[in-house]
Structure 1
Amino acid sequence: MVMRPPIRTKPSGGVGRRALLLGTALWCAAGATGCSQDTGPSPGSRTAPPAAGTRTAAGAAAASTSAPASAPASAPASAPSAKLPAPAPWRPGPGEIEPAVKLAAVRLVEALGTWPSGRGGPRNAAARAAALGISGPLAGRLAAQAGPLTPVADQAVVRVIDAQYGGILPDTASVLIPYTQYTRTGSAVHEGGTTIDVRLERTGAGWAVTALRPGRPGPPAVPLGDSARAVLAQPRIELPPAAAADIRSGAVHEGVLRAMLRLADSCRVSVSVVRSGHPANVFGTARPSDHPAGRAFDVWRIDGRPVVDPATPRSLVSAFMRAAAAAGSYNVGGPVQLSGGNGANQFFSDATHHDHVHIGFAG
């Protein structure tokens, strides 16, 4: 596959993103590296509570061959109690390039996907969007586009895992939001979720959401390959609902799976996006992204340290990026511009990848 030159965009100054859940202080000795191949500027933002919403491979393994095809992103797990966890609003921390963009996207996702008993349905969803200051007609359109974010349920709570850029340009942006959603129907509580691509435009009043594009992972593959099962069973690989479902679907490239396993040998890897919910094209271009083809994954946290957090050592991120290249990635992007590599474009850095590491593979 021909190397693709990275799209560079001017970072727009800003702040925002708090380190959350600092994990083990392991050093990625084997050289971990990775990043994504979209465009635009951006750092990463922080997510809600530590464990809520992030699905580890261990939990996904049991469902790897039995998750129902109707599950939007992860195999729902039911609990005997009808009590839902409390909402925990996501907030950006230090290091964000354009925190206002992410906040506008996240607040809408949280509003659409969280409601008290008896307040479900499209009309109520549109009202919650309108309460954020969105015009009535647009609020109705966004509620209609929400899909798996507004399932039929008596009550629901969304907890955002992360907010990362799918791309950011001077007047347009894509924010990718993996989330876990807890719903109650009758006396049963279910856990699900997916990743949603939120599109925004800059207006005179600030950044405004214009469209929602929820990820819809495919049904589980039967049988599932050995590498996919190994990834789902590896507790050092943290997978949000849509990413776990992508791997269960059997549509993820073997090189991606092996790289995840290799990187997890030396550090804990928190994946944000694999296939579902990612823009089809590198943002702002007509070039196909490697993500929808199952040939890339993004990492937003390394050993519990958010990539976007200024307190995360750049040496840790650099080592991780080089390890991703050593694991076979032809296109590694992140917040650090590295030299060397097997090609002129093997390593890249721009504002979009300020908040995560992208790890792409040739077909």
Structure 2
Amino acid sequence: MVIRSAACPAPPGGVGRRSLLLGAAAWCTAAAAGCSPGPGASAASPASRTTPPAAGTRAPAGVAASPSAPAPAPSGRLPAAAPWRPGPGEIEPAAKLAAVRLVEALGTWPSGRGGPGSAAARAAALGIAAPLAARLAAQAGPLTPAADQAVLRVIDAQYGGLLPDAASVLVPYTQSTRSGSAVHEGGTTVDVRLARTRAGWAVTALHPGRPGPPAAALGASARAVLARPRIELPPAAAADVRSGAVHESVLRAMLRLADTYRMSVSVVRSGHPTNVFGTGRPSDHPPGRAFDVWRVDGRPVVDPATPRSLITAFMRAAAAAGSYNVGGPVRLSGGIGPNQFFSDATHHDHVHVGFAG
């Protein structure tokens, strides 16, 4: 048995619309796209996200703000859990929900009743057969740090790839852990792999991101990105920037875009598939030459209530900032070459910004 998610409410237009999107023949043809292709041009959909902090909230100096970092708790106490839920208009919401529920279960446990040793039991409680539960627990890595208690909060769930029978769901999260009276804030991004079965979407593997150590000497652009409150970075993306492994073209584009927009980044390097999902082509993300944005000016890309003019303007601004490969929920005309702009089901929930070097 493998983990499955109950179906969520159908989007406007019903299941027929979702099936049409998944079955459409227009595949992403960008030869070097940093993200993964999905079947068909996508329509944007709403999603219920973890509530962001109040406007003006900033992280400590040198640390990027997380769009859903838990509020400070009294000494020795952790913030309350806040389960993530997809909105009714998501493409394949059951896939995202199955991925997120396993991540939340593995990374959250009450005092005296959890920890790494019981990770397999927490997975099995979701209906996963014991052998697979043990395998997924062994793959959890940073999801299950040694601690007396833990609360994991998902920031967002976006596709790293969406095909008719397989999916990659990228789950950036924050995690508050307590050991004795000491509370630690951490988190990373997990690439959750799923397969479609007769009973629904089922988790098959976990690939947690493991950012490198901080660089001994960080460049000026990286320091500026980390200090810029209009660039919201989840823990893994912030660690990627601190590691010095993010290309200068990416950092400069982030800074240029932040002059006009407040953007919530979902993934840079860590936690993204090595290859464009479903292909043998290397992704631009692992070499540090791409980043994804799930929210612009506080408006989720996936939400149909978000003005399309805002998203299309952001996509064109990304191209003007030097990106050779901009993907999102709208296929734009123009651009340099046939593949500067693209759209598919995978990118209905975020904007991909990739660089050649």
TM-score computed with the length of structure 1 as normaliser: 0.84
- 1:144 pairs, out of 138, 149, 164, with 138
- Decide whether the 8 Å contact of 1:213 with 1:277 is kept in 2: yes
Aligned CA-pair RMSD: 2.4
- Decide whether the 8 Å contact of 2:35 with 2:284 is kept in 1: yes
Counterpart-to-counterpart distance in 1, 2:228 and 2:188: 20
Q: Which has the higher contact order (CA 8 A, sep 6+)?
A: 1
Aligned length: 321
The aligned runs of 1:3-152 (5 Å cut-off) are 12-13=18-19, 37-40=35-38, 45-51=47-53, 58-59=58-59, 61-63=61-63, 81-152=75-146
Structure 1 residues not aligned, in runs of 5+: 1-10, 16-34, 65-76
How far 1:120 sits from its partner (Å)?
2.8
The aligned runs of 1:204-283 (5 Å cut-off) are 204-283=198-277
- Decide whether the 8 Å contact of 1:178 with 1:194 is kept in 2: yes
Opposite residue 37 of structure 1, the aligned amino acid is C
- Decide whether the 8 Å contact of 1:81 with 1:187 is kept in 2: yes
The change in CA–CA distance for 1:211 and 1:264 in structure 2 (over 3 A counts) is same
- 1:331 pairs, out of 325, 334, 338, with 325
> Could you give the per-residue CA deviations for residues 87-124 of structure 1, whole angstroms, max 9, x where no partner exists?
10001114311100000000000000000011233441
Opposite residue 247 of structure 1, the aligned amino acid is V
- Decide whether the 8 Å contact of 1:165 with 1:176 is kept in 2: yes
Deviating more after overlay: 218-227 vs 120-129: 120-129
- 1:172 pairs, out of 166, 171, 174, with 166
> Could you give the per-residue CA deviations for residues 179-208 of structure 1, whole angstroms, max 9, x where no partner exists?
000000000111000000000001111000
Opposite residue 162 of structure 2, the aligned amino acid is I
Aligned to 1:4: none
- Decide whether the 8 Å contact of 2:63 with 2:238 is kept in 1: no
> Could you give the per-residue CA deviations for residues 67-102 of structure 1, whole angstroms, max 9, x where no partner exists?
xxxxxxxxxx99760110111000111431110000
Counterpart-to-counterpart distance in 1, 2:222 and 2:61: 9
Dislocated runs of 4+, deviation >4 Å: 41-45, 77-80
The change in CA–CA distance for 1:300 and 1:230 in structure 2 (over 3 A counts) is same
Counterpart-to-counterpart distance in 2, 1:328 and 1:172: 32
Counterpart-to-counterpart distance in 1, 2:188 and 2:307: 30
Counterpart-to-counterpart distance in 1, 2:258 and 2:87: 26
The change in CA–CA distance for 1:79 and 1:100 in structure 2 (over 3 A counts) is closer
- Decide whether the 8 Å contact of 1:271 with 1:299 is kept in 2: yes
Counterpart-to-counterpart distance in 2, 1:332 and 1:154: 43
Residue aligned with 1:353, SS: helix
The change in CA–CA distance for 1:63 and 1:256 in structure 2 (over 3 A counts) is same
- Decide whether the 8 Å contact of 1:46 with 1:161 is kept in 2: no
Aligned to 1:189: 183
TM-score computed with the length of structure 2 as normaliser: 0.85
How far 1:360 sits from its partner (Å)?
0.1
How far 1:267 sits from its partner (Å)?
1.2
